[in-house]
């Protein structure tokens, strides 16, 4: 199996002692760096009401990133569709696609990206909890984007007046469960599996491939996987850097929301905790260690692409992680080869 294509999944982490605005500036900086390094795409997540992450509005970040980069595909990882009107999402991403043709991805998710009370606060109608109507929303959104609504449908004219036409975003379905794989397969959509949430997804990916129905959207199954990865000059250094996100996740499981702590504080905290087996997978170490781990994940899923999620307290360490992997996977050389071929 060839080496996987490498891309970025960014949750805009907020380091302790810094502001959410600085985290957004870090996201823009990292996007420009990874564009230069030869990464394939840059997806931004959607999370609400947390001091750890500044990614509440991916559509705004996508526009800012696309305007500051020249080659990367830029998209959502993902838009949490239950919070929104399908028409509003269709108009927003149509506009982005019109501004940045052939570069915009619309990754769609079903999870709330937050706690139940914040989900309730995001609702327009708060008389009762919103029903789970994700699949109906998804069908409607795809029909709007693709102009497939019947002529007598009350929303048919809205599909003809999307602001970015004739450009369209590329839709992806995101998930970490069997149901999302089934929907992606039945609709002929590319599927991105969140290994960083559920590291036991190989059978789910296999089910997606087995059930896949060829469509005008996609002629064959296409799968990527989102993976936690932290790379440093040595295994030991990478493990130390990873302590920050481990402390944050440990406290999150206890219902305590905190910014990303510095390494020294995280190491002291983790020294008081017994390391539990299992849990979330993370590929951590030197370039050689991380490459071997990433290739193993890609083979497990049959994934041609991996989206790397890297959270550290120090932004310089996060930049360095992506630099080391770009060098070790030959991304810069590949980018130069493509540029020469295009000239």
pLDDT digits (tens, 9 = 90+) for 258-270: 999 999 999 999 9
DSSP helix/strand/coil, 28: helix
**Residue written as tokens 């990303």?**
260
pTM: 0.93
The pLDDT of residue 107 is above 60: yes
- Rounded CA separation 129/256 (Å): 24
pLDDT tens digits along 145-166? 999 999 889 998 999 999 999 9
Give the model's pLDDT for residue 116: 75
Q: Which superfamily does 5-342 belong to? A: Luciferase-like domain (3.20.20.30)
- Rounded CA separation 128/107 (Å): 28
Enter the tokens of residue 104. Answer: 């915009």
């Amino acid at each position: 199996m060839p080496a996987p294509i490498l891309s970025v999944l960014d949750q805009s982490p907020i380091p302790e002692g810094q502001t959410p605005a600085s985290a957004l500036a870090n996201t823009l900086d990292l996007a420009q760096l990874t564009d230069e390094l030869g990464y394939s795409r840059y997806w931004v997540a959607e999370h609400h009401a947390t001091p750890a992450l500044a990614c509440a509005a991916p559509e705004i970040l996508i526009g800012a990133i696309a305007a500051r980069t020249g080659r990367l595909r830029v998209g959502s990882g993902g838009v949490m569709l239950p919070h929104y009107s399908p028409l509003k999402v269709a108009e927003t991403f149509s506009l982005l696609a019109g501004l940045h043709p052939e570069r915009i991805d619309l990754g769609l998710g079903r999870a709330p990206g937050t706690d139940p009370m914040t989900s309730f606060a995001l609702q327009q109608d708060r008389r009762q909890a919103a029903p789970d109507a994700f699949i109906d929303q998804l069908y409607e959104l795809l029909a709007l984007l693709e102009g497939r609504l019947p002529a007598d449908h009350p929303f048919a004219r809205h599909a003809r007046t999307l602001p970015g036409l004739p450009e369209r975003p590329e839709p992806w379905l995101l998930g970490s469960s069997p149901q999302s794989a089934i929907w992606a397969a039945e609709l002929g959509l590319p599927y991105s599996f969140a290994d960083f949430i559920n590291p036991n997804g190989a059978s789910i990916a296999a089910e997606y491939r087995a059930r896949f129905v060829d469509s005008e959207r996609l002629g064959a199954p296409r799968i990527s996987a989102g993976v936690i990865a932290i790379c440093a000059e040595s295994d030991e250094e990478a493990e130390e850097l990873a302590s920050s996100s481990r402390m944050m996740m440990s406290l999150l499981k206890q219902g305590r929301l905190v910014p990303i702590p510095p390494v020294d504080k995280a190491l002291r905290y983790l020294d008081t905790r017994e390391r539990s087996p299992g849990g979330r997978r993370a590929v951590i170490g030197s370039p050689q260690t991380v490459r071997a781990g990433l290739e193993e994940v890609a083979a497990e899923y049959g994934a041609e692409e991996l989206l790397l999620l890297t959270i550290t307290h120090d932004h310089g360490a996060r930049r360095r992680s992506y630099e080391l992997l770009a060098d070790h996977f030959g991304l810069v050389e590949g980018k130069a080869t493509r540029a020469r071929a295009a000239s």
